[in-house]
Structure 1
């Protein structure tokens, strides 16, 4: 009986070494490469809320496997909740795109513009594209601007690293659209 214990231990340790490791992803804050220069100084923008669809609010990175099926990764996970990452990177990207503005995720005054964003797609897709989809509403002193967005960006490479970088690129592109709209209303 005792001679089987080392064999059982070896099998148990071998099984443990084959468990896949978890990888955690954080969206890179890319900063906008283009600035909207005709913005007046001292404007304020409060990014009140970024919400994500329920299927995106999980820990795992989402991948669409066909036209109706989605998979939530078990080993490729967001390092922090996706809605928080989207809000933080949007503040960074808008701050970079809007010189002279104060962009914050906290309320500042009654004179601020207010932005809310709803994300309905932020995932990879079976055809090698990254999907960034949703809508945003900008309130400037009672004037509301509501815009949908639907970006499909081709990944340059395969894999989750490339997917996350491509999603971040799409999010930065949408930040530039929001910045341009904020300046012109």
Structure 2
């Protein structure tokens, strides 16, 4: 009986040690913020929130396997919550794309514009493409603007590293669309 127990423990330990290592991903900040002058800006934007659906809110990177099926990775994980990463990179990208604006993830005061983003897609797809989609809502001087966005890019290489890099580029393109609309504000 003791030999059997020792064998079972050894088998269990070897199974634990042979499991795949987890890989963690963080979205790179592609845009370099432009140095702001020390004078106060009339243009202030608070990025209030970036929301993601439940299937994207977990730790695993999402991958669409068919038109209706998604797989959430168990070994390829986000290093920090995806909504936080998207918000942080959105603030950095908008800061670089909108010189003269003060962009913040914290409230700035009563005269600020407020941006909220609802991300509905941020995943790789079975056909070698990545999808970044959703809508943004901007509150500016008592007016509300709402616009959808959809960015689809071809992934140049296989694997999660390439997918996350392509997702980052797609997110940057989505923020360029937002900044283009914001830059036209009076």
Q: Distance in 2 between matches of 1:123 and 1:167?
A: 7
Whether 1:163 and 2:172 are equivalent positions in the alignment is no
Q: Deviations over 1:113-156 (max 9, x none)?
A: 11010011000100011110100011110122211011111001
Q: Deviations over 1:91-114 (max 9, x none)?
A: 000001111111001111111111
Structure 2 unaligned residues grouped into runs of 5+: 35-40
Could you list the structure 1 runs, at least 4 aligned residues long, displaced by more than 6 angstroms after superposition. Answer: none
The residue aligned with 2:12 is: 12
Q: Distance in 2 between matches of 1:137 and 1:13?
A: 52
The residue aligned with 2:124 is: 124
Whether 1:46 and 2:46 are equivalent positions in the alignment is yes
The residue aligned with 1:74 is: 74
Structure 1 unaligned residues grouped into runs of 5+: 35-40
The residue aligned with 1:26 is: 26
Further displaced range: 67-76 or 2-11: 2-11
Q: Answer yes or no: is the 8 Å Cα contact 2:51–2:118 preserved in 1.
A: yes
Q: 3-state SS of the aligned residue for 1:96?
A: helix
Q: 3-state SS of the aligned residue for 1:73?
A: strand
Whether 1:172 and 2:180 are equivalent positions in the alignment is no
Q: Answer yes or no: is the 8 Å Cα contact 1:24–1:78 preserved in 2.
A: yes
Q: Distance in 2 between matches of 1:50 and 1:8?
A: 48
Q: Deviations over 1:39-85 (max 9, x none)?
A: xx541000011100111111101100001100111111111111111
Q: Answer yes or no: is the 8 Å Cα contact 1:32–1:176 preserved in 2.
A: no
Q: 3-state SS of the aligned residue for 1:179?
A: helix
Cα distance change, pair 102–112 in 1 and its aligned pair in 2 (3 A): same
Q: 3-state SS of the aligned residue for 1:21?
A: coil
Q: 3-state SS of the aligned residue for 1:118?
A: strand
Q: Answer yes or no: is the 8 Å Cα contact 1:132–1:152 preserved in 2.
A: yes
Whether 1:99 and 2:115 are equivalent positions in the alignment is no
Q: Answer yes or no: is the 8 Å Cα contact 2:33–2:92 preserved in 1.
A: no
